[in-house]
Amino acid sequence: MKAIQKIRDEHRSISAVLHGLKQLARDAQDPKVKPDFAVFRAMIHYIDEFPEKLHHPTEDNYLFPPIANRVPAAQKLIDSLRAEHKEGAKLIRELERALVLFEDSGAGAARKFVEAVDAYADFHWRHMRKEEQEILPLAEKHFSAKDWDMLNEAFDVNRDPIAGIREKDFSALFTRIVSLAPEPIGLGSRWKKAGA
């Protein structure tokens, strides 16, 4: 069941970036700190595009439909997860707006930015938890061999040169985040503090 592992791994990557984003948004509340906005932009780009382009379409097209067919009682849960995929895209736009405001207007907008980050992170964690605790066990119980084949194939990005390139792009972006983000989130230098 490599597909289930792959879904869990992707949730871990998204979670890692969300954790980093939350911590750095908090660090940036200190008016003496000079944040590197490129790190915030790269992180938001990742949590926007990776689920949108790769992760959610796989769930929508290959994970949810077989469960809906075999477990009609799960339809409501699946509808709510699909709705959250759309809702997430909207929340990200708010997060981007809050970042632009923070970058343009400084400390006054820092609070609003951290609130938008927390709201998005809580929303996305709730969503991933629901999938891991309620949906993946249903797949493990009810998927047929053919369902697994189709889901595994969807993840076998090497068969699809376009998706393959996309996946490589995202791991390159993840690496960039790690190298840009200041320690202990990543490997970059700590953000400078005015007067320090």
Question: How far is Cα 171 from Cα 177, in angstroms, rounded to an integer?
Answer: 10
In the bound complex, what is the minimum distance in angstroms from residue 44's beta carbon to Fe ion? 18
Residue 177 · residue 46 · CB < 8 Å: yes
- Residue 147 within binding range of Fe ion, rule CB under 5 A: no
For 27, the token pair is 């660090």
- Residue 131 within binding range of Fe ion, rule CB under 5 A: yes
In the bound complex, what is the minimum distance in angstroms from residue 128's beta carbon to Fe ion? 5
Q: Which is nearer to Fe ion, 26 or 93 (CB)?
A: 93
Residue 95 · residue 120 · CB < 8 Å: yes
Alpha helix segments (H runs only) across 28-60: 37-50, 56-58
Nearest in space to 21 (alpha carbons), one of 33, 31, 13: 13
In the bound complex, what is the minimum distance in angstroms from residue 60's beta carbon to Fe ion? 8
- Residue 48 within binding range of Fe ion, rule CB under 5 A: no
Q: Which is nearer to Fe ion, 48 or 59 (CB)?
A: 59
Span near Fe ion by CB under 5 A; candidates 129-137, 139-147, 153-161, 178-186: 129-137
Sketch the per residue contact string, 51 through 70, with Fe ion: x for CB under 5 A, - otherwise: --------x-----------
Question: How far is Cα 138 from Cα 128, in angstroms, rounded to an integer?
Answer: 15
Give the E-state strand segments of the chain in sequence order: none
- Residue 167 within binding range of Fe ion, rule CB under 5 A: no
Q: Which residues bind Fe ion (CB under 5 A)?
A: 59, 131
